[in-house]
Amino acid sequence: MVIETRSPEETFRTGEELGRNASAGQVFALIGDLGVGKTVFTQGLAKGLGIEEAVSSPTFTIVQVYEGGRLPFYHFDVYRIGDVEEMDEVGFDDYVMGDGVSLIEWADLIREILPEKRTEIRIEKDLAQGFDYRKITVTETGD
Ligand code: ADP
Ligand code: MG
């Protein structure tokens, strides 16, 4: 599925829609360059899960847990990890195998430990289409 957006609000609403429909144990793997809109998408997804709390990228921790929504939400940003072994230390497997919804920004950096079954969200710019244009490709893997 490909969705094209032309504003942060549209990307937020795309995330919101996927959050409303997310199921227990679902894992979202976000891929895309710095500033492309991964966190905007994530904020929408959190809203769609019914989370009222403000969601920002976890800066000092790899994972931020939100319990206030329809399902627990585990938000990872792995931009700064040096080695995938750091993911063991935070208990990555327990999160992704748990009943909450997991979302990983910069998922391509930990590709070798991602669960086979996941929802990949690739966000890309195309400057020829305008500065605020984003192409969001949603792919289900592993089934
Ligand atoms: P990332 O988490 O991928 O590094 P952010 O979500 O933090 O990126 O930032 C995306 C930036 O791009 C924001 O400043 C946002 O306002 C801007 N932006 C412009 N157009 C869009 C769009 N169509 N979708 C998402 N963000 C957009
Ligand atoms: Mg981000």
Tokens, residue 74: 């585990």
End-to-end Cα distance, the chain? 16
CATH code given to domain 2-141: 3.40.50.300
Ligand 1 centroid–CA 126 distance in Å is: 13
Q: What is the pLDDT of residue 35?
A: 95
Residue type, 86: E
Global pTM reads: 0.97
SS3 54: coil
Tokens, residue 100: 């909450």
Ligand 1 neighbours (beta carbon < 6 A): 5-8, 10-11, 32, 34-40, 105, 132, 134
Q: What is the pLDDT of residue 40?
A: 97
Q: How far is CA 52 from CA 44, 45, 70, 126, in A?
A: 11, 11, 11, 32
Whole-number Å distance between alpha carbons of 89 and 112: 16
| 19 Cβ contact partners less than 8 Å away, ≥ 6 residues apart | 44, 45, 46, 47, 48, 49, 101
Q: What is the pLDDT of residue 57?
A: 78
Query: Taking a C-beta distance cutoff of 8 angstroms, is the pair 86, 62 a contact?
Result: yes
Residue whose Cα lies nearest atom 23 of ligand 1: it is 7
Ligand 1 centroid–CA 105 distance in Å is: 13
Nearest ligand to residue 59 Cα: 2
Ligand 2 centroid–CA 38 distance in Å is: 5
Q: How far is CA 118 from CA 53, 68, 121, 142, 143, in A?
A: 25, 23, 10, 7, 9
pLDDT in tens, the chain (143 residues): 999 999 999 999 999 999 999 999 999 999 999 999 999 999 999 999 999 998 987 777 899 999 999 999 999 999 988 899 999 999 999 999 999 999 999 999 999 999 999 999 999 999 999 999 999 999 999 97
Ligand 1 centroid–CA 125 distance in Å is: 10
